[in-house]
Structure 1
Amino acid sequence: MTLRTGFTEMFGVRHPIALAPMGGTAGGALAAAVSNGGGLGLLGAGGGDRGWLDRELEILTAGTDRPWGVGFQTWAASVEIVEYVLERGPRAVMLSFGDPGALAAPVRRAGVPLILQVTDLEEARRAVDLGADVIVAQGTESGGHGARRGRSTLPFVPVVVDLAAPVPVLAAGGIADGRGVAAALVLGAAGALIGSRFQATVESLVDPGNAKAIVDGKGEQTERNRVLDIARGSSWPARYTARTLAHPHLDRWRGREAELAADPRARADYDDDVARGVIPAQPVWAGEAIDLIADLPSAADLVPALAAQAEDALLRATHPS
């Protein structure tokens, strides 16, 4: 069985699997490995730091001759940095978190496929109106940032599929093995965008201690919160919280976000703990499906393995004997 979908045909990739463009984690080596494995590797450009982009784009373009793309945090990136990346020849640009209108314009002018991630139906309707070529429906099970008042992947994806048709939709959130990819396809999606599972790979830029925490962690230990963004002085919009594993500063400030934001010592305490190695430099962004992550493979090997698991799951579901 070959899992051919509108997504695989649009990008000329073998498997309906895309790398979530996790800022600071999905670097050039990881994006190249996912593309080499037959998926679509998406570089996690975040707000678009020029130095980081130059370094990681060089690694990416040297590491693969297969389709790849770049993802930006819409609230933090500029039109200028998007235009700069478009000059490097990506096969796709993905925009997430915020109104993508201004950043979508240069992508459309360049004729590059536009991927828009949505976390609620208002964002999904906006994505359709903007002419997205692919829409990512992100459920609240996802690791890292997502909607504070979002919806779970299982009910959210088919609603977006129906609303966006015939635009291909990728499912995101709580997908960490081939069974999750198969479930996304059954829900009507054209594939899956996967984050936490790809953090725990040899090509990921994630801190080794954080990777081990993901392998050892359980979904029930994750929590969606704004505390750690406030404590580390991040400018993420309040409508987006982040799912992380347990953290000392989360335990210290849970439910006291306003007090935390007003405390001038809190950021200093956080930075001091990072400097002393008490806490990692970045929180452990992790989704609810981390129970399914037990190793640190190469992403190039992981992509076809996930696809094979998905094919097997679909065959067993339709031919249980």
Structure 2
Amino acid sequence: MALSTAFTKLLGVGHPIALAPMGGSAGGALAAAVSRGGGLGLLGGGNGDREWLARELAIVAEGTAKPWGVGFLSWAIDVGAVERVLVHNPRAVMLSFGDPRPFAGRIRDAGVALVVQVTDLEEARQAVDVGADVIVAQGTESGGHGARRGRSTLPFVPVVVDLVAPVPVLAAGGIADGRGVAAALALGAAGALVGTRFQATAESLVDASTIKAIIEGRGVDTERNSVLDIARGSRWPSKYTARTLGHPYLDQWRGREAELAADPQAKRAYQDAVERGDLPPLPVWAGEAVDLITDLPSAADLVATLAAQAEDVLARAGRY
């Protein structure tokens, strides 16, 4: 059976699976491959860097004739970044982590689907108010950035589904195989937004050492923290922390974030260690489902595998 949902019908995609628009990972080749596979590929537009977007938008536009989109960090962009993307006719634009109101109207006026990621119920209500066509409910199991005081995916998703109905919801956080996709649908979501699993694919922009760390990683080794954002001089709002695999600087400064923030020499030491190659240039963003990642497929094949697994799980569950 094909898994047809409100999300697949709205976006015109074959499977209820979307690529999380991960900065540094979800480039044009990965987004295009996910879309070719029948999911919705979302380019990781991050802070709207003009040069990066110009390069990767060309790659995704040339790489697929199927629907694709772009994701941005709401706190880090301006309207110009959105305008530059809209001229490429994406099917969707996703806004995460911050106020979507300065950009929502322009996206909807362009006839582009507005996807808003939320980490709490206040954000979910705001997403409805700005006219989101799809809402992503992100649980704390997710890799990368999320709410400091969020809720786990299992209880959070159905609460959001009930709150925002009839707007379709995608579940995010801790989903790395077809069982997770099936679980999202069972919770009332119209699909799943998948991140860490797609980092370990042939088209991902991450380097070989990061892929190796993900394949060998364990969920118990992940931790949500702000230490690495502080050390890197990142401007992420304090509301959001990041789930990563272990890191030497995290071990050194865990629980001493205020001290680290006030110590310019410690932050300089971090940058010096990165420049010497003693530390990786970026943390390894990874969610709690990282244990389930054991191979390096093409992203298009992975979409098909996730969909087939989900169909099988739901068919077997229907026999109980």
Tell me the TM-score range normalised by the shorter chain.
over 0.9
Counterpart for residue 294 of structure 2: 294
- Choose 207-216 or 103-112, whichever is displaced more: 103-112
1:318 paired residue number? 318
Shift of 1:276: 1.7
CA offset at residue 275 of structure 1?
1.4
Distance 1:94 1:295 in 2: 28
Matches within 5 A, 1:170-319: 170-319=170-319
Match of 1:89 in 2: 89
TM-score of the superposition, structure 2-length normalised? Answer: 0.99
Can you give the 5+ residue segments of structure 2 that lack an aligned partner in the other structure? none
Please say if residues 104 and 131 of structure 2, whose CA atoms lie closer than 8 Å, have aligned partners that are also in contact. no
Give the CA deviation at 1:266: 1.7
3-state DSSP of counterpart to 1:14: coil
1:121-140 equivalence runs, <5 A: 121-140=121-140
SS of the aligned residue for 2:99 comes to: coil
8 Å Cα contact 2:198-2:299 kept in structure 1: yes
- Any unmatched runs of 5+ in structure 1? none
**RMSD, aligned CA:** 0.7
Which residue pairs with 1:167 in the alignment? Answer: 167
Map 1:65-144; keep pairs closer than 5 Å. Answer: 65-144=65-144
| Distance in 1, Cα, partners of 2:103 & 2:233 | 25
Q: Size of the alignment, in residue pairs?
A: 320
Residues 18, 40 of structure 2: 8 Å contact kept: yes
In 1, the alpha carbon distance for the partners of 2:266 and 2:229 equals: 12
1:121-152 Cα shifts (integer Å, max 9, x gaps): 00000001111000000000000000000000
TM-score, normalised by the number of residues in structure 1: 0.99
**Which amino acid counterpart does residue 33 of structure 1 have in structure 2?**
A
Tell me the distance in 2 between the aligned counterparts of 1:280 and 1:33: 27
Deviation of the 1:115 alpha carbon:
0.1
Runs of 4+ with deviation above 2 angstroms: none
What letter is aligned with 2:170?
A: L
1:61-115 superposed Cα distances (whole Å, 9 cap, x missing partner): 1111110000000000111110111011000000000111001121022121100
Q: Which residue of 2 aligns with 1:155?
A: 155
Distance in 2, matches of 1:22 and 1:56, equals 13
SS in 2 for 1:35: helix
Between stretches 234-243 and 261-270, larger displacement belongs to 261-270
Deviation at residue 39 of structure 1 after TM alignment: 0.1
Alignment partner, residue 11 of structure 2: 11
For residues 23-51 of structure 1, the C-alpha deviation after alignment (integer angstroms, 9 at most, x for no partner) is: 12100000000000000000000010000
